[in-house]
Structure 1
Amino acid sequence: MGTMFYGDAATPIGIEDRALAHLKVAIITKLRRGESFTVSWKHADDQPSGRSTLWLHPNIPLRFVFDEPEPTELSRAWVEELMRSANSTGGILLVPEQLDTGPIATVEPLATGPGAEEPAP
């Protein structure tokens, strides 16, 4: 479980390392542009029910702490989804990673040998 510290808030925000790594990229991209925005998330099962929203501003200190010593491999699709939400009026909505578990498309091998059709020029 990673941790995000924002401003002088005494309560750290616990976020799973992989999610925090993706969120970090989206947040840093926005802050580098000098843009202010919100980040919202649903509370974890071990916390009181509800949700939270932070207003992030480039002049407020922000720190990310990861439990895992090695950086995680990022999913371009998840970062892009977070960036789309960051650019909306609602700000970043931290959502679980959507893994594509559908069947993998296959390509039929080209026929070769006697009787195989030649590709059109």
Structure 2
Amino acid sequence: MGTLTYDSKLTVAIDDRILAHLQVVIWGKLRRGEQFSFTWTDPDRAGMGRTSVWLSPNISLAFEYFGGRQPRLNPAWLEALAKSANSPAGLSIVDEPEPPAGA
């Protein structure tokens, strides 16, 4: 279980595999200077069910992983997350689709 820290103030625990996919999508958009929202659910936090933040190139983000190895990335999931990030609602964690045949 890794962590995503937003603006040095908000830290959320996210599974390493999910976090690795989010990092690729988020950094891709920020590298292009794009701003967007990111919403996730966190049923384990007392009284908190959903959190939304605004991501932009001038807000610090830190991705910290529990495991030492980079998870294998699923191109279909990266595409689904990117589609979500480009929607009016912004990025949200979508279910992982089956990887393409031969991947």
| Aligned residue number for residue 97 of structure 2 | 98
The offset of 1:17, in angstroms, is: 0.3
- Which residue identity does 2:35 align to in structure 1? S
Count, aligned residues: 99
**Higher normalized strand content (fraction of residues):** 2
The offset of 1:64, in angstroms, is: 0.3
| Aligned residue number for residue 72 of structure 1 | 71
| Aligned residue number for residue 2 of structure 2 | 2
| Aligned residue number for residue 56 of structure 2 | 57
Whose RCO is larger (CA < 8 A, sep 6+)?
A: 2
| Aligned residue number for residue 88 of structure 2 | 89
* Structure 1 alignment gaps of length 5 or more: 105-121
Measure the CA separation in 1 of the matches of 2:66 and 2:30: 24
Whether 2:24 is the aligned partner of 1:25: answer: yes
TM-score, reference length from structure 2: 0.88
The offset of 1:95, in angstroms, is: 2.1
- Which residue identity does 2:75 align to in structure 1? R
**1:46-93 alpha-carbon deviations (Å, 9 max, x no partner):** 223511111001011111000110100000010000000111111101
Contact 1:36 1:58 survives alignment (8 Å): yes
Share of identical aligned residues, percent?
43
- Which residue identity does 2:5 align to in structure 1? F
Measure the CA separation in 2 of the matches of 1:21 and 1:57: 19
Is the radius of gyration larger for structure 1 or structure 2? 1
The offset of 1:98, in angstroms, is: 3.0
Contact 2:5 2:61 survives alignment (8 Å): yes
| Aligned residue number for residue 40 of structure 1 | 39
* Structure 2 alignment gaps of length 5 or more: none
The 4+ residue runs of structure 1 with deviation greater than 3 A are: none
